[in-house]
């Protein structure tokens, strides 16, 4: 009973594995190889690349990124909310107000604690 | 009963109080200049939340809340009170701790309250996804609390190890949950129970895999062997109040989740108070092995420790093993003894950590030598209290730990599991050796004059006094607690 149910999953796994193997190897066997310096260079959106990829950069970037994620996720919650907003009325309005209020308090805290200062 | 979100709020008061307090503490941190206020505010919030739980004990009907995500029943109230007590003692200790003085107070207390709130959810969730989120909630706050001492390398190391270990464990756990979801077709505990009651035994291997994988996350939270590796390092590196909090609150929360997952979801209750494991997954045998391993490895490792916090970490692993004995026997009596033991464990373990903190405040160290001759350099009362806590942890009468162990062993013997009882008894004997070693160092070893004097201040002294009295009194008169534990073994599934 179990085998019947999960057989399609097994087939799917095998097919997926086969496709990956075939595609990678086909490209290696059939494709022309023409290595020029420009082709082997790191791709930086068309600009001339400069410096090493292992250069160090400030941990502050991560802080900013984390602060950004919070508001990024907030927007994800607002999409479904906006869809049903009309039907749910004040209940939806108050729920979302509390949610955004709490996030806003977090922003105020970060601000006052100096997390947004670059120096 | 089955309540929708808005009606649920009436049964949600303990959580609401803590939730408001978390935000309030963060705001207050910006507004007030005297940071001592924050600790007091957190203390008041915890007391109010506990009070709300106690008032609900009386006569509120069992019901599921928030569209069957969490549940309100006697079992969850019992655990909420334990978490409240643990948070109370932790905040009290934090106010006196030298280590905690250095950290940002608003963040510290807000995280502590948030962690307690997460534990509430661990005890109340009746849905796989909600359980997982609650566990992560507690884990995430614990990682940060462990790493709070920014200038201490060990604290940072502990936090990182905890994070990596916790990430792997909870990832394995949610993978296991996906197997169970695949079998039952629902994440609701009641639905899982129903699906397992009616399903064919052909799926028992898949259920076994799901349960074992899920157990890795639960075992990590209660620090049971073989998921205990994080405990010694984390307990050593974290600030002492947080170590106490993790060893009692976090462990109790893990047990709450474990009990609710294995009992109402994966077993069915017969008329005689005996449970029957569903689906032929054989999880009682796994827990049996885990229990024996935790006791034995925990106690043997504790024998060789030189750092008191590390020793208590291994001792807490062993205690997780003792408490798991109550799960193996599959009876209401066993469950009751686990609930009862958690209260006893709370008093003696928090008490022991309070004394470690007292010594660390004076000497700046937590090793064996800092306890040498403690009774003869101003610390006679703390040393006496520590002896009570340690003997109680070893399970010597007439202290609370003995009664706790008595109920656990009684349940095991009634289930005629003599091997398990024997392993447990032998382990108690082994544990006496390392507990007594500390007592000997405190009383029989002479200080060589280089040690700092240790004195008891009123604040820590008050906490220690209450815990000592509790450890002694509950060792002699425990009827109210066992009565409460007895009526708290009531799960509601809806």
Average per-residue pLDDT for chain B: 92
pLDDT of residue B201 exceeding 60: no
Site from A66, A88, A113 to mutate, B interface, most B CB atoms within 10 angstroms: A113
Query: How far apart are the C-alpha atoms of B417 and B488, rounded to whole Å?
Result: 25
Say what the pTM is: 0.90
- Chain A nearest-CA distance from B155, in A, is 20
Residue with tokens 């162990």: B405
| Amino acid A58: pLDDT | 84
b/e string for B363-390 if b means 16 or more Cβ within 10 A?
A: beebbbebbbbbbbbbbebbbbbbbbbb
Q: Determine, for residues A2 and B200 on separate chains, whether the beta-carbon distance falls below 8 Å.
A: no
pLDDT of residue B411 exceeding 60: yes
Measured in degrees and rounded to the nearest 5, phi and psi for residue B26 equal -65, -45
| Amino acid A56: pLDDT | 83
Does some domain include residue B380? yes
pLDDT of residue B200 exceeding 70: no
- On the 0-12 / 13-18 / 19+ scale of CB atoms within 10 A, B229 is middle
pLDDT of residue B349 exceeding 80: yes
| Amino acid B345: pLDDT | 96
b/e string for B203-227 if b means 16 or more Cβ within 10 A?
A: bbebbbbbbbbbbbbbbbbbbbbeb
* Mean pLDDT in residue range B62-87: 93
Q: Determine, for residues B203 and A2 on separate chains, whether the beta-carbon distance falls below 8 Å.
A: yes
pLDDT of residue B281 exceeding 80: no
| Amino acid B491: pLDDT | 87
* A53-95: pLDDT as tens digits: 787 888 888 888 888 888 888 899 999 999 988 888 888 899 8
| Biggest alpha carbon–alpha carbon distance for chain B | 72
Tokens of B443: 């009383």
Does some domain include residue B235? no
pLDDT of residue A50 exceeding 60: yes
| A4 compared with A6, residue with greater pLDDT | A6
Query: How far apart are the C-alpha atoms of B321 and B190, rounded to whole Å?
Result: 28
Nearest in space to B437 (alpha carbons), one of B390, B370, B374, B489: B390
Region class of B216: left (phi > 0), else alpha (psi between -120 and 50), else beta: alpha
* B223-234: pLDDT as tens digits: 999 999 999 999
Site from B8, B25, B26, B111 to mutate, A interface, most A CB atoms within 10 angstroms: B26
* Mean pLDDT in residue range B209-216: 93
Tokens of B441: 């160092």
Closest-approach residue (CA) in chain A for B205: A2
Contacts of B84 (CB under 8 A, 6+ apart): B14, B46, B47, B49, B50, B53, B116
Nearest in space to B159 (alpha carbons), one of B238, B97, B104: B238
Taking any CB pair shorter than 8 Å as contact, residues of chain A touching chain B are 1-2, 91, 102, 105-106, 108-109, 112-113
Region class of B314: left (phi > 0), else alpha (psi between -120 and 50), else beta: alpha
| Amino acid A71: pLDDT | 86
pLDDT of residue B202 exceeding 70: no
For residue B202, list chain A residues with Cβ-Cβ distance below 8 A: 1-2
Q: Determine, for residues A112 and B200 on separate chains, whether the beta-carbon distance falls below 8 Å.
A: no
* B205 in A contact zone (CB under 8 Å): yes
Q: Determine, for residues B30 and A106 on separate chains, whether the beta-carbon distance falls below 8 Å.
A: no
| Amino acid A89: pLDDT | 85
Does some domain include residue B282? no
Does some domain include residue B458? yes
For residue A2, list chain B residues with Cβ-Cβ distance below 8 A: 202-203, 205-206
* B424-453: pLDDT as tens digits: 999 999 999 999 999 999 999 888 777 788
Crossing angle (nearest 10°) for helices B204-222 and B308-328: 150
Of A1, A91, A102, the CB nearest to B23: A102
Query: How far apart are the C-alpha atoms of B288 and B286, rounded to whole Å?
Result: 5
Model confidence at B271, pLDDT cuts 50, 70, 90, reads confident
Cross-strand partners of B267: B277
| Amino acid B310: pLDDT | 95
Model confidence at A42, pLDDT cuts 50, 70, 90, reads confident
Q: Which domain holds residue B316?
A: 293-494
Which long-range contacts link B354-357 to residues 24+ away (Cβ below 8 Å)? B354/B89, B354/B93, B354/B244, B354/B460, B354/B463, B354/B464, B354/B467, B355/B382, B355/B385, B355/B386, B355/B389, B355/B464, B356/B240, B356/B308, B356/B309, B356/B312, B357/B93, B357/B96, B357/B97, B357/B240, B357/B241, B357/B244, B357/B460
Q: Determine, for residues A2 and B30 on separate chains, whether the beta-carbon distance falls below 8 Å.
A: no
* B1 in A contact zone (CB under 8 Å): no
- Cβ contact B76:B103 at 8 Å: no
| Amino acid A2: pLDDT | 57
DSSP assigned state of B273? S
Looking at the domain A2-113, which fold is it? Methane Monooxygenase Hydroxylase; Chain G, domain 1 (1.20.58)
Tokens of B178: 């996906």
Query: How far apart are the C-alpha atoms of B494 and B489, rounded to whole Å?
Result: 16
Tokens of B251: 């462990």
DSSP assigned state of B451? S
pLDDT of residue A32 exceeding 90: no
Query: Model ipTM?
Result: 0.76
For residue A108, list chain B residues with Cβ-Cβ distance below 8 A: 30
Of B30, B203, B206, the CB nearest to A109: B30
Q: Which helix (H) or strand (E) holds B211?
A: helix B204-222
Q: List, as one string, the DSSP characters of B80-102.
A: HHHHHHHHHHHHHHHHH-HHHHT
| Amino acid B405: pLDDT | 96
Whether cis (ω within 30° of 0) applies to the bond prior to B398 is yes
Q: Determine, for residues B205 and A2 on separate chains, whether the beta-carbon distance falls below 8 Å.
A: yes
pLDDT of residue A1 exceeding 60: no
* B9 in A contact zone (CB under 8 Å): no
Tokens of A42: 């790191």
Site from B23, B24, B38, B210 to mutate, A interface, most A CB atoms within 10 angstroms: B23
Query: How far apart are the C-alpha atoms of B111 and B91, rounded to whole Å?
Result: 11
Domain count for chain B: 1
| Amino acid B168: pLDDT | 96
Q: Determine, for residues A91 and B6 on separate chains, whether the beta-carbon distance falls below 8 Å.
A: yes
Q: Determine, for residues B26 and A105 on separate chains, whether the beta-carbon distance falls below 8 Å.
A: yes
| Amino acid A3: pLDDT | 61
For residue B23, list chain A residues with Cβ-Cβ distance below 8 A: 102, 105
| Amino acid A35: pLDDT | 84
Q: Where are the beta strands (DSSP E) in A10-98?
A: none
| Amino acid B269: pLDDT | 87
Nearest in space to B431 (alpha carbons), one of B316, B325, B347, B306: B316
| Amino acid B440: pLDDT | 94
Closest-approach residue (CA) in chain A for B206: A2
- Cβ contact B203:A2 at 8 Å: yes
Model confidence at B22, pLDDT cuts 50, 70, 90, reads very high
């Amino acid at each position: 009973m179990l085998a019947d149910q999960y057989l399609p999953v097994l087939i799917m796994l095998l097919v997926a594995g086969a496709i990956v193997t075939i595609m990678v190897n086909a490209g290696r066997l059939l494709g022309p190889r023409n290595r020029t310096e420009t082709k082997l260079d790191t791709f930086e959106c068309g600009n001339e690349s400069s410096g090493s990829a292992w250069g160090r950069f400030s941990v502050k970037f991560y802080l900013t990124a984390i602060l950004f994620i919070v508001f990024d996720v907030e927007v994800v919650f607002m999409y479904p909310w906006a869809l049903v907003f009309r039907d749910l009325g004040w209940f939806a309005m108050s729920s979302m107000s509390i949610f955004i209020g709490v996030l806003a308090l977090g922003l105020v805290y970060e601000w006052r604690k100096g997390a947004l200062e670059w120096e | 009963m089955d309540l929708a979100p808005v009606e649920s709020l009436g049964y949600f008061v303990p959580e609401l109080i803590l939730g408001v307090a978390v935000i309030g503490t963060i705001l207050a941190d910006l507004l007030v200049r005297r940071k001592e206020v924050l600790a007091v505010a957190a203390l008041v919030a915890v007391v109010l939340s506990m009070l709300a739980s106690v008032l609900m004990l009386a006569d509120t009907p069992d019901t599921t809340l928030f569209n069957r995500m969490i549940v309100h029943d006697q079992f969850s109230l019992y655990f909420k009170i334990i978490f409240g007590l643990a948070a109370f003692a932790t905040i009290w200790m934090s106010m006196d701790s030298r280590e905690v003085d250095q950290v940002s107070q608003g963040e510290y207390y807000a995280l502590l309250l948030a962690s307690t709130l997460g534990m509430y959810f661990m005890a109340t969730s009746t849905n796989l996804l909600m359980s997982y989120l609650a566990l992560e909630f507690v884990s995430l706050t614990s990682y940060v609390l462990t790493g709070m001492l920014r200038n201490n390398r060990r604290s940072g190391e502990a936090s990182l190890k905890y994070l990596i270990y916790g990430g792997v464990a909870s990832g394995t756990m949610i993978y296991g949950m996906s197997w169970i979801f695949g079998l039952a077709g629902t994440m609701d505990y009641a639905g899982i129970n129903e699906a397992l009651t009616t399903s064919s035994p052909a799926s028992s291997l898949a259920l076994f895999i799901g349960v074992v994988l899920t157990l890795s996350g639960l075992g990590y939270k209660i620090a049971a062997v073989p998921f205990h590796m994080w405990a010694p390092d984390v307990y050593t590196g974290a600030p002492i109040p947080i170590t106490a909090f993790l060893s009692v609150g976090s462990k109790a929360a893990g047990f709450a989740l474990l009990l609710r997952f294995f009992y109402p979801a994966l077993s069915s209750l017969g008329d005689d108070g005996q449970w029957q494991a569903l689906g032929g997954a054989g999880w009682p045998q796994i827990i049996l092995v885990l229990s024996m391993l935790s006791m034995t490895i925990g106690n043997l490792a504790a024998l060789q420790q030189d750092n008191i916090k590390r020793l208590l970490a291994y001792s807490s692993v062993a205690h997780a093993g003792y408490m798991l004995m109550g799960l193996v026997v599959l009876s209401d009596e066993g469950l009751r003894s686990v609930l009862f033991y958690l209260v006893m464990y709370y008093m003696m373990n928090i008490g022991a950590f309070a004394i470690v903190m007292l010594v660390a405040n004076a000497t700046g160290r937590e090793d064996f030598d800092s306890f040498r001759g403690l009774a003869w350099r101003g610390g006679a009362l703390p040393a006496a209290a520590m002896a009570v806590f340690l003997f109680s942890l070893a399970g010597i009468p007439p202290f609370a730990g003995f009664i706790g162990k008595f109920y656990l062993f009684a349940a095991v013997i009634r289930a005629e599991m003599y091997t398990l009882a024997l392993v447990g008894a032998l382990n108690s004997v082994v544990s006496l050796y390392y507990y007594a070693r500390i007592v000997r160092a405190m009383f029989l070893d002479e200080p060589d004059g280089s040690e700092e004097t240790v004195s008891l201040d009123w604040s820590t002294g008050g906490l220690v006094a209450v815990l000592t009295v509790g450890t002694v009194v509950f060792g002699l008169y425990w009827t109210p607690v066992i009565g409460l534990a007895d009526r708290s073994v009531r799960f509601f599934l809806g």
